[in-house]
Amino acid sequence: MTAGGLKRAIEGLAGLAGIEIVPKWRAPTLAMARKLSLLFDHLAISSVIDIGANEGQYRNFLRNQVGFTGAIFSFEPDPDLSDKLMRRAAEDAKWRVFPFALGPAEGVQLFNRMGDKQFNSFHEPSPDQPVHVRMQNRVVSTVPVTVRTLDGVAAELGELGPVYVKIDTQGFDLEVLKGGRNVIRSALALQTEVSLRPVYSGSPSFAESIAAFQAEGFAIADLFIVASDGQMRAVEFDCVMVRDPDATVAHTGATSLATG
């Protein structure tokens, strides 16, 4: 029997026993992938705005684990990373990459490149950050980057349809919200990274982050741990939120961009 045949036979027997065999590489994100797959189906999500694309990890997650085949609009300010993403996007007709940051206003701002690219941020590392990330989360260089607002670029995205907004900007998420309320209020669901312990100076607390998006009409759907410290204490979560039909949102001239 070939390796492929043996694998299918084992999976078949496991299925008969009510067991699903999952590759080790999928285990850490399996729960979130299943949640988003169900959520996207339930809301008929047709496009995702990926704010803070880094090396394209979230696009890969959506395509390879969630099974999402719709449009993805990724925003990444680091020119080295965005150049690589744009080359990769040439092989995915439904993936567009924008080489700038999103924030509260148009302009140019210094962007911190950290020891580990996943920690890149407009913020400085917090002196109180967990000890085990201090080598990765340290500034090694800075680069000036263009900052635009989500509402300002909305027309360039075309017809979004039912949209999901993912924001992972290493402590800058609420600044993105300030410049993107129209688009975010039109979203059916969103994802934001929230911190229980400070990783960056000046970044919002867990409670401040949740309250800000609740004020825009969203309710928590789920929380998925992103990082813990050496004592197994939670540091950060990905917070998935859905439109709350019972919420009252103050009117600020926002108009819906999504259609059913």
**Could you read off the pLDDT of 150-189 as tens digits, one per residue?**
999 999 999 999 999 999 999 999 999 999 999 999 999 9
pLDDT tier at 230, thresholds 50, 70, 90:
confident
**pLDDT confidence of residue 258:** 41
pLDDT, one tens digit per residue, over 195-216 is 999 999 999 999 999 999 999 9
| Domain ranges within the chain, ordered by starting residue | 24-243
Q: Which CATH class is domain 24-243?
A: alpha beta
What is the predicted pLDDT for the residue at 246? 87
Rounded Cα gap, residues 244 and 189, in angstroms: 9
pTM of the model: 0.89
Q: What b-and-e string marks burial along 26-63, b requiring 16 or more CB atoms within 10 Å of the CB?
A: eeebeebbeebeebbeebebbbbbbbbbbbbebbebbb
User: Given a cut of 60, is residue 255 above it in pLDDT?
Assistant: no
Residue-level pLDDT at 26 = 72
Helix, strand, or coil here: 129? coil
Look up residue 141 and give its two tokens.
């260089």
- pLDDT tens string 1-55: 676 665 565 556 556 667 666 677 777 889 999 999 999 999 999 999 999 999 9
Helix, strand, coil content of the chain in percent (nearest 5): 35, 25, 40
For range 218-243, the mean pLDDT: 95
